[in-house]
Structure 1
């Protein structure tokens, strides 16, 4: 598993331009799975049902994971829309991203080179205005501790920017904590050292 963080979109964005009387509208959205990517594509298609083409491409996971890529020319000549869209997405370094380019045709033929430039160029422009955030790869650990150790554990969690997912307060405290996978070993060692091994730790995933 690749434990390096990668960029994902914060919000959707659109870019519109007119080329030889054809209007191209590029829609970009955050889609963390193939299913969400396909849902977004259908949403844009229904929103622009009167458009001649709604061509698309998606990178539904890590930017370099080609098993989660997809694209479609949606009636445009083969290779002139879906592939240029996907090429821009996969080269952007941003993951979990879908692009749908809606074309309202103006009746003037653009030719294959013109179409490649229009579809790829629209996505390139939309990517320039896309806001992103770094997605860290995390793992979860379960901590079992006495109530007296809670302040110490919270202090170590703050140091490693770990977040509490679940808490169960019985005779002991049971915490499920999420931490950056790259720092998990150091985080657990810090807990063991500072609590003199009185915090019991087990990995969940």
Structure 2
């Protein structure tokens, strides 16, 4: 598995039947625990036998077996999320019991497998670590600087004008900070000194 983490672009679903039980996995991108729990409530079917779920948002994670034997549903769903390098996501796997017991191993495979297949099919986006640079430039340098921002995938997050020029805070991918600092200093012949914000 690579070090890159991904988040989901949209809500996705995957349904399958395993020994007459129906499983429906539903996944969604989330940025906070409250959103994850709201999604669980929204898609859980009260008529189903079980609505098991897990979410991971950075270092924060939770899972729930919803009445299945401990460790056979929520944890395998969480392991599917982690195994696919997904972050900021919630997965709910709903089961309608079909009359045939699956046993602990069968449950782990069914819940984990349904969640993993749902996530495999989901459109995803890499999560890019972002950083901020602060700098001050003269009015005459602003247009050239703004024209170069796209080279570093940078966005202006804050702009303040004063008598001597403009103070900017740029948001850009962490991996491009050193290059942006060097290029801005070169471009301004050393007049602009971008500094990284903590």
SS of 2:194's equivalent in the other structure is: strand
Aligned to 1:31: 30
The within-5 A match list for 1:45-56 is 45=44, 48-56=45-53
Partner residue, 1:178: 171
User: Gaps spanning 5+ residues in structure 2: where?
Assistant: none
Deviation at 1:203, TM superposition (A): 3.2
Query: What is the distance in 2 between the residues matched to 1:5 and 1:112?
Result: 32
Distance 1:31 1:155 in 2: 34
- 1:187 shift after superposition: 1.0
- The equivalent of 1:70 in structure 2 is 62
Question: Are 1:199 and 2:192 counterparts?
Answer: yes
Within-5 A mapping of 1:4-153: 5-45=4-44, 48-61=45-58, 67-153=59-145
Structure 1: how far apart are the matches of 2:21 and 2:76? 18
* Whole-angstrom distance in 1 between the partners of 2:25 and 2:50: 12
TM-score, length basis structure 2: 0.89
Aligned residues: 195
Question: So what's the TM-score if we normalise by structure 1?
Answer: 0.86
| Offset from partner CA, 1:71-112 (integer Å, 9 cap, x none) | 111100111111211111111112212111011222332222
Following superposition, the deviation at residue 43 of structure 1 comes to 2.2
Partners of 2:4 and 2:85 within 8 A in 1: no
**Structure 1 regions of 5+ residues with no counterpart?**
62-66
* Inter-partner Cα distance in structure 1 for 2:78 and 2:127: 21
Measured on the aligned residues, the alpha-carbon RMSD in Å equals: 1.9
